[in-house]
Amino acid sequence: MSTHDTPTERPTQRQPVKFYQTGTFTVGNRLLPENVRSVQADMRRTNSLNSGHRACQGCGEALGARYAIDAAMQATRNQLIAVNATGCLEVFSTPYPETSWQIPWIHSLFGNAAAVASGVAAAMRVKGHSDVRVVAQGGDGGTTDIGFGCLSGMFERNDDVLYLCYDNEAYMNTGVQRSSATPPGARTATTPAVGRQPGNEFGTGKNVPAIAMAHRIPYVATASVANLRDLEQKVTTAMAIRGARYIHIHVPCPLGWGSAPADTIRIARLAVESGLFPLYEAHDGQVTARTPIRRRVPVDDYLKLQKRFAHLFANEAGKERIALVQAVADRNIAEFGLLAGDDAHG
Amino acid sequence: MDKPFAITLDVGSSLANRTGSWRTSRPLYVDRLPPCNHACPAGENIQQWLYHAESGDYEAAWHALVENNPLPAIMGRVCYHPCEGACNRGRLDEAVGINSVERFLGDEALKRGWQFKRPAALSGKRVLVVGAGPSGLSAAYHLRRLGHAVKIVEAGPLAGGMMRFGIPKYRLPRDVLDGEVARILDMGVELELNRKVTDIRQTMRDEGFAAAFLAVGAHIAKRAYIPAGEAARMLDAVAVLRDMEGADQPMLGRRVVVYGGGNTALDVARTAKRLGATEAIIVYRRTREKMPAHDFEVEEALQEGVLIKWLSTIKNMADEGTLTVEKMALDDKGFPQPTGEFETLEADSLVLALGQDVDLSLLDNVPGLVIKDGVVQVGPDMMTGFPGLFAGGDMVPSERTVTVAVGHGKKAARHIDAWLRGTKYAPPPKHEIATYDHLNAWYYADAPKTVRPVLDLVRRQSTFDEVVSGLDETNALFEARRCLSCGNCFECDNCYGVCPDNAVIKLGPGKRFEFNYDYCKGCGICVSECPCGAITMVPETI
């Protein structure tokens, strides 16, 4: 299954790119040498998640999964096995007997992806296939709620698995129910926009990247489908490390968020640029790098494109709640120093 | 049935699931018209030649440039670059310095001796071009490329027209002009100097020309009646600038007054300064906003110490060199009206720069011509009322600039070619303009702080001031790479990368992309995330 006979070495550090019309903001750039273009720009990319999958129009998760797995495939010279939790990604990619996956792929249960992946990694070790690497992947429901015990165990044992969480902030597959990753104020099927405090309760939720860091595992990062270069660099970095690793990827869901399919990347970008979804990486529990905001925007720009937040714009009470969301963004910006410098781009 | 327990079907690929059937609208690759191209009076494909320059292939860039305009080194100095005014990059930071890159390419071509492509096949037809100014040279070049035998007849002693006898040397060095003229002649274009065509029909008949392009320019200075003493020194601007080309420079004196508000008035005032005048004063009857001269020329003239008296007319000039000037006031309609207030100005000479008329004497015996406001009327194909006789440049109704003249020459050449072949030239349909709202400006890199000084330098260098040299390769490349490629795919791979369904097929370098409509669900992310607006969505037909 080798499509890359001679894989090019990709640097794990962000490339300082000279002023080339679009720099590295676009997927490719004809003015850059091939080895510093993104994996996705490559005509021979793996397309690990192939066409014909049944994800909705403009699905952020389908995009995020291909970005991450293609990068991991490149980094491991295609010696990769993927374990999948139950969720949209599993359902839309593998209706029996079809599969969209062009890599060895296994699904067991909703909550045990991390445990199954630990087992696959152990099996590979026992069989002497030290070059075969394992990723586990799931949505926010399968990761932050149902699979959380298994995930914590995988972290604590420092099993050699990269866990990828595609965070679309609710249980989309079953009809948009709230998860512990649903942001405050968001309307879901189980947090309707009714009553005096419409939408998801403020002060709830779980910060899984921070919990992963608290396990002192070798590598934790956050990423977004709006920043492909950053995402690929993080996956590549993760695959160069042995032990438990975790990457939390923000993936908009047009259906669940009530946004236009064409706006998927735009919305993900606004989440990053507003400060609501900070991009950073941590080694051994310490934050070591953050991706600065390029053009800061108020959270309104992000919220108003999504029907799940429409009630915040309906009345005066909503304004106060938007101010609370803005406070979250401001705190992230201050905590991670997201406005400092612009040296990651060029 | 040799399958494991409970397995009844073979493993299949999701490729069996043609998700393209979900689509209600489909993405389409388009080419939109970049605003720079749209604004160019010479019809240059600026975005295209910048594309080649971006990758450092200056020779390809130059060849793409001269497809439309054979005079890039001249353009890069004297063009008023309406392209830069239209540039979408101006909304991001500053317009791309198109003019300075054009000058760089033009100078590179002269330095390296790049030559024009020769005509593919000869037509056997002879075409006469009257006048070796920008319009005549452009027409001759394009006609030659189309395979015709071309002869230019020029009344003056040298080729160039107003580029030589109207534009001062500090704006256009003569070796640049000579170099670009010579390259056109090298294609096999014949040039006869010092011959004035007096009867165009006779000349065509005698020498067997199947068609003619007239571009004699406008060289006769307009006069205004100003009572003056016999010893008063009154000159016209055209003559002053023409004399600058001769061995003896015009004697203007220490105090020079120029009357008029066009670019020519500024050229004369700036020339006077360079000839050593301590005072060069422009007298103009209206205000700065109403002045026809280009803003940057006014600015440069003021920087050089030229003074301008607004809202003033000259009533008379006495022998001792004293001018009587009347103050004017604008009325409700914006026209200047006399106020009855007078003042005097001391001047050794007065130069009139009140516009130019066309010498139409060569057309006396031509029937069917329409002449209005002193210029020859032409159709959209640049043909006059007399079949086979075409005209362009300053002698037809137009904005009188070098670039417009070059554009006329090209347009006329195409119609002359069609006319000679007995067909009609139909210009290709124009694409929709790639306005700023078609772009996703997020993707364009900002000019980082370190390159700001370079950028500022580029601005300074695009002022045509020959005291400052042109761009060198590094900053020319940098400037070219600031182009946003509005409306035309530059292969950034964004559509290929952002499709959640892998429904974009990358065809390889230079070949762009195509959609795989079997799987494209029509989400439109590719349209939203295309930086340059080269994709559009159209509804599916049912």
Helices assigned H by DSSP within chain A: 60-75, 88-93, 113-126, 140, 148-156, 208-214, 228-239, 254-257, 264-274, 299-303, 316-336
Tell me the domain boundaries of chain B. 16-31+490-539, 35-115+445-480, 126-219+358-420, 231-355
Judged by DSSP in three states, A167 sits in strand
Local confidence band at B4 (pLDDT 50, 70, 90 cut-offs): confident
Q: What angle do CA B130, B133, B138 make, to 5 degrees?
A: 85
Choose the weakest-confidence range: A17-26, A187-196, B187-196: A17-26
If you average pLDDT over residues B479-488, what whole number do you get? 93
For A54, nearest residue in chain B (alpha carbons) = B19
Interface test with A, best of B525, B535, B536 (most A CBs within 10 A): B525
Q: Which residues contact A284 (CB under 8 A, 6 or more apart)?
A: A216, A217, A218
Q: Is the ipTM of this structure higher than 0.95?
A: no
Given a cut of 50, whether residue A11 has pLDDT beyond it is: no
Instruction: Look at the domain B231-355 and name its fold.
Output: FAD/NAD(P)-binding domain (3.50.50)
CATH of domain B35-115+445-480: 1.10.1060.10
Given a cut of 90, whether residue B251 has pLDDT beyond it is: no
Interface test with B, best of A43, A49, A57, A266 (most B CBs within 10 A): A57
Percent of chain B whose pLDDT exceeds 70 = 95
Q: B73, B93, B94, B80: which is closest to B459 by C-alpha?
A: B94
For A29, nearest residue in chain B (alpha carbons) = B492
Q: Can you give the pLDDT at residue B106? A: 96
Query: Are B9 and A97 a contacting pair at CB < 8 A?
Result: yes
Query: Are B13 and A38 a contacting pair at CB < 8 A?
Result: no
Residue B228 DSSP label: B
Q: Can you give the pLDDT at residue B82? A: 95
Task: Name every chain B residue with its beta carbon within 8 A of the beta carbon of A29.
Answer: 492-493
Dump pLDDT digits (tens) for A35-55: 889 999 999 999 999 999 999
Local confidence band at A4 (pLDDT 50, 70, 90 cut-offs): very low
Which residue matches tokens 């293609």?
Answer: A70
Q: Can you give the pLDDT at residue B231? A: 75
Domains B35-115+445-480 and B126-219+358-420 share a fold: no
Closest approach of B492 to chain A, Cα-based (Å): 5
CB atoms < 10 A from the CB of B196, how many?
13
Query: Are B500 and A38 a contacting pair at CB < 8 A?
Result: no
Dump pLDDT digits (tens) for B271-294: 998 888 899 999 999 999 889 898
CATH of domain B126-219+358-420: 3.50.50.60
If you average pLDDT over residues B497-503, what whole number do you get? 97
CB atoms < 10 A from the CB of A160, how many?
21
Local confidence band at A341 (pLDDT 50, 70, 90 cut-offs): low
Choose the weakest-confidence range: A239-248, B179-188, B355-364, B521-530: B355-364
Residue of B54, B448, B498 with shortest CB distance to A63: B498
Query: Are B494 and A50 a contacting pair at CB < 8 A?
Result: no
Dump pLDDT digits (tens) for B390-434: 999 999 999 899 999 999 999 999 999 999 999 999 999 999 999
Tell me the residue ranges of DSSP E strands in B460-511: 504-506
Dump pLDDT digits (tens) for A168-186: 999 999 999 999 999 999 9
Domains defined along chain A, listed by start: 47-336 (3.40.50.970)
Cα separation values, B393 from B159, B359, B402, Å: 15, 13, 8
Local confidence band at B457 (pLDDT 50, 70, 90 cut-offs): low
Local confidence band at A24 (pLDDT 50, 70, 90 cut-offs): confident
β-pairing, B336-346 vs B349-352, is: unpaired
CB–CB of B408/B396 below 8 Å? yes
Dump pLDDT digits (tens) for B308-364: 999 999 998 887 788 999 999 988 888 899 999 999 999 999 999 999 999 999 998
Q: Which residues contact B369 (CB under 8 A, 6 or more apart)?
A: B363, B376, B377, B384, B385, B386
Amino acid at B405: A
If you average pLDDT over residues A322-341, what whole number do you get? 92
- Architecture in CATH for domain B16-31+490-539: 2-Layer Sandwich (3.30)
Considering only the C-alpha atoms of chain B, give the largest distance between any 2 of them, rounded to a whole number of Å. Answer: 120
Count residue pairs from A and B with Cβ separation < 8 A: 162
Closest approach of A201 to chain B, Cα-based (Å): 32
Query: Are B19 and A51 a contacting pair at CB < 8 A?
Result: yes
Q: Can you give the pLDDT at residue B246? A: 81
Dump pLDDT digits (tens) for A113-130: 999 999 999 999 999 999
Interface test with B, best of A25, A26, A49 (most B CBs within 10 A): A26
Residue B525 contacts A, CB cutoff 8 Å: yes
Task: Name every chain B residue with its beta carbon within 8 A of the beta carbon of A90.
Answer: none
Closest approach of A102 to chain B, Cα-based (Å): 9
Dump pLDDT digits (tens) for A292-313: 999 999 999 999 999 999 999 9
Q: Can you give the pLDDT at residue A2? A: 37
Q: A3, A164, A210, A141: which is closest to A69 by C-alpha?
A: A164
